[in-house]
Amino acid sequence: MNEVYKKLREINVSGHVEQKNGLNYLSWAWAWDEVMKEYPDAIYEIERFDNKPYLYDEKTGYMVFTRMSIAGVEREMWLPVMDAANKAMLDHKYTYDTKFKKDIPVEAATMFDINKTIMRCLVKNLAMFGLGLALYSGEDLPEEELTEEIAKEFIFEKGKYTGKSIMDLFNGDEKEKGYLQWWLDNGKDEKIKAMITILTGMKPTEIPPEEEQKEILNKMVELDKLLNDTNTDRIKFYKYYKVDTNQQMTLEQLNDGIEKLKAKLWKD
């Protein structure tokens, strides 16, 4: 067995593994630090295409590549840029269908998505030298079997919705669907969260930066006052923005709603 592989394979990575969307990830900073402790002359390279750190195909999406050399041994790795449901991201937004839901959106890739994928590719490259290789066990299983079929059969075994499937809740009332969103935002089991996203297209609520959160809170207060001042039907108003409360509105929606209500107030 190669000496580098043997040494890195013996390092315990269990305390540095994070889960997201049903997948295990090893901290790239920790992984690289461990390698540098043993092999300070190790180097890596991010491959570039026309001076861009990715290769793009309009049909299959983005792919990033890394190359690494440790103690004279060189290995390469590659990784596609994917969204929360592990669907390939393109340079534009698109939708796809599953057996259970149609028109599930996949957002256009950003440089943030590409950067995250590059660092994950680096960690996967390190796994080819033995560090954390066990994390990738089973990743070559068929995606359909690993995602939709398993998700379809999943039944909640705890809580008020014991005995119900993901789609039972998704097709249920607002409280039942809200339970799925709660799982995405607060649940600890990443596999369940990944199955919810795969079947329904629902995603965790994005937390905006602190300054934006303050602005959103102020806008929510202003909107609430305008709704009262204009005697606007809240149910119809929220339905227009496809939300149930102002807490679910984006900053853009809040600004739009405020402008519309101000125009109504001035008109009256």
**CATH code at 44?**
3.30.390
My answer on whether 109 and 72 are in the same domain is yes
My answer on whether 111 and 165 are in the same domain is no
My answer on whether 29 and 70 are in the same domain is yes
Q: Going by C-beta distance under 8 Å and a sequence separation of 6 or more, which residues neighbour residue 59? A: none
My answer on whether 15 and 119 are in the same domain is yes
My answer on whether 39 and 69 are in the same domain is yes
Q: What value does the mean pLDDT take over residues 158-183?
A: 88
Q: What value does the mean pLDDT take over residues 180-203?
A: 83
The reply to whether 205 falls in a domain is no
My answer on whether 25 and 41 are in the same domain is yes
The reply to whether 65 falls in a domain is yes
Q: What percent of the chain has pLDDT over 70?
A: 89
Whole-angstrom distance, CA of residue 28 vs CA of residue 38:
16
My answer on whether 14 and 127 are in the same domain is yes
My answer on whether 9 and 132 are in the same domain is yes
Position 91 scores a pLDDT of: 94
Q: What is the DSSP letter of 11?
A: S
3-state secondary structure of 73: strand
- Tell me which residue of 243, 241, 223 sits closest to 181, measured CA to CA: 243
My answer on whether 255 and 195 are in the same domain is no
**Residue 173 predicted with pLDDT over 80:** yes
Q: Among the three residues 170, 200, 230, which one is the final residue of a domain in this structure? A: 200
My answer on whether 56 and 106 are in the same domain is yes
Alpha helix locations (H) across 92-165?
111-127, 143-144, 150-153
The reply to whether 105 falls in a domain is yes
Q: What value does the mean pLDDT take over residues 56-62?
A: 94
Position 38 scores a pLDDT of: 93
Q: Among the three residues 136, 152, 181, which one is the final residue of a domain in this structure? A: 136
**Residue 1 predicted with pLDDT over 60:** no
Q: What value does the mean pLDDT take over residues 242-264?
A: 85
My answer on whether 29 and 58 are in the same domain is yes
**Residue 231 predicted with pLDDT over 70:** yes
More confident residue, 143 or 243: 243
Q: What value does the mean pLDDT take over residues 178-191?
A: 83
Domain containing 39 equals: 3-136
My answer on whether 84 and 154 are in the same domain is no
Q: How many domains does the chain have?
A: 3
